Amino acid sequence: MRIGIDLGGTKIEGILLAPDGRVLARERRETPRGDYPATLEAVAALCAALKKQAGGKATIGIGMPGAPSPATGLIKNANSTWLIGKPLQTDLEASLGQPVRLANDADCFALSEAADGAGAGARSLFGVILGTGVGGGLVYEGRLINGPNAIAGEWGHNPLPAPQEAELPGPGCYCGRQGCIETWLSGPGLAEDHFRLTGEKAEPHELASRAASGDPAAEATLARYADRLARALAGVINIFDPEVIVLGGGLSNLTFLYEAVPARWARYIFSDQVATRLKPNLHGDSSGVRGAAWLWSEAEAAAL
């Protein structure tokens, strides 16, 4: 059996998966924000509780915002800042007495949707998070693609491709650069783009509602968003050429994107035809925790 943990900034969710992917148990607890020892204790306690329900034997995978550094093993790039610089994997393995696998939450999302979600059966998949931030994960033949820098799929901090004059130099990003894909395609980025051009404050779901009612300013904002997403995904297709791209995060609920983006991306892709499919996620908010459970292969789980 497999245990998956989604370590978020406000909640910690855990599930116990049967070998066929059925959820046998699910628990949620509040994240002790700002307190590393308490967070470590909460994750370990949740794992222990689920392991007991599994009969004392299960693999453990953990998804989180951020990732262990290949150089030091310490957590980096986490918006749960109290985890940065901590040996989370080592500490959890010592507490639980067994190996633990950690991965970025976007990687877990991609793996979940490839395993038994919207991309099931596809040979290659790019999983996209469009939410408060922008992230991504790459899966090939059922396995996550990891690189020597632990940043495979981190497309959000590349510059927006084919920028128009009005898009230069682009909004400032917390990473220190300007014009990152994340500054345009995150939820806050979409809202800020509308505000810059109209002076109106509106959340993405409000813009979708206004556009559906015929508001020309909202329609224009969403059209700009679709074109920017098409350009950004075209860059991924030109490099990785996935069979399926699956969208997750709050902005994946903008249903017009699944027609509007493929209608635009061909002009930016170096091919005479584009067979890549753009799909909404199947597992929704559960993709991260399910993907964490799938960090161990079936053979590895059976051998534990």
Residue 81 has pLDDT above 90, yes or no: no
- Are residue 140 and residue 74 in the same domain, yes or no? no
- Are residue 62 and residue 211 in the same domain, yes or no? no
Residue 140 lies inside a defined structural domain of this protein: yes
Residue 175 has pLDDT above 90, yes or no: no
Is the pLDDT higher at 175 or at 301? 175
Q: What is the mean pLDDT of residues 73-95?
A: 91
- Are residue 155 and residue 86 in the same domain, yes or no? no
The model's pLDDT over 114-131, given as tens digits with 9 standing for 90+, comes to 999 999 999 999 999 998
Q: What is the mean pLDDT of residues 211-227?
A: 97
- Are residue 142 and residue 213 in the same domain, yes or no? yes
* Sheet of 23-30, strands arranged across: 23-30, 11-17, 2-7, 59-64, 101-104
- Are residue 44 and residue 147 in the same domain, yes or no? no
Residue 113 lies inside a defined structural domain of this protein: no
Q: CA 114, CA 108: separation in Å to the nearest integer?
A: 10
Residue 262 lies inside a defined structural domain of this protein: yes
The boundaries of the domain holding residue 222 are: 118-281
Residue 67 lies inside a defined structural domain of this protein: yes
What DSSP string describes 197-258? HHS----HHHHHHHHHTT-HHHHHHHHHHHHHHHHHHHHHHHHH--SEEEEESGGGG-TTHH
- Are residue 127 and residue 274 in the same domain, yes or no? yes
Confidence (pLDDT) at 192: 97
Confidence (pLDDT) at 298: 75
- CATH number of the domain encompassing residue 250: 3.30.420.40
Q: How many domains does the chain have?
A: 2
- Are residue 146 and residue 246 in the same domain, yes or no? yes
Residue 237, C-beta contacts closer than 8 angstroms, at least 6 positions apart: 245, 265, 269, 274, 276
Q: What is the mean pLDDT of residues 131-138?
A: 91
- Are residue 89 and residue 123 in the same domain, yes or no? no
Confidence (pLDDT) at 268: 97
- Are residue 79 and residue 207 in the same domain, yes or no? no
Residue 45 lies inside a defined structural domain of this protein: yes
Residue 20 has pLDDT above 90, yes or no: no
- Are residue 98 and residue 136 in the same domain, yes or no? no
Residue 125 lies inside a defined structural domain of this protein: yes
Confidence (pLDDT) at 295: 93
Q: What is the mean pLDDT of residues 88-106?
A: 93
- Are residue 272 and residue 127 in the same domain, yes or no? yes
- Are residue 90 and residue 231 in the same domain, yes or no? no
Residue 157 has pLDDT above 80, yes or no: yes
Residue 286 lies inside a defined structural domain of this protein: no
Residue 23 lies inside a defined structural domain of this protein: yes
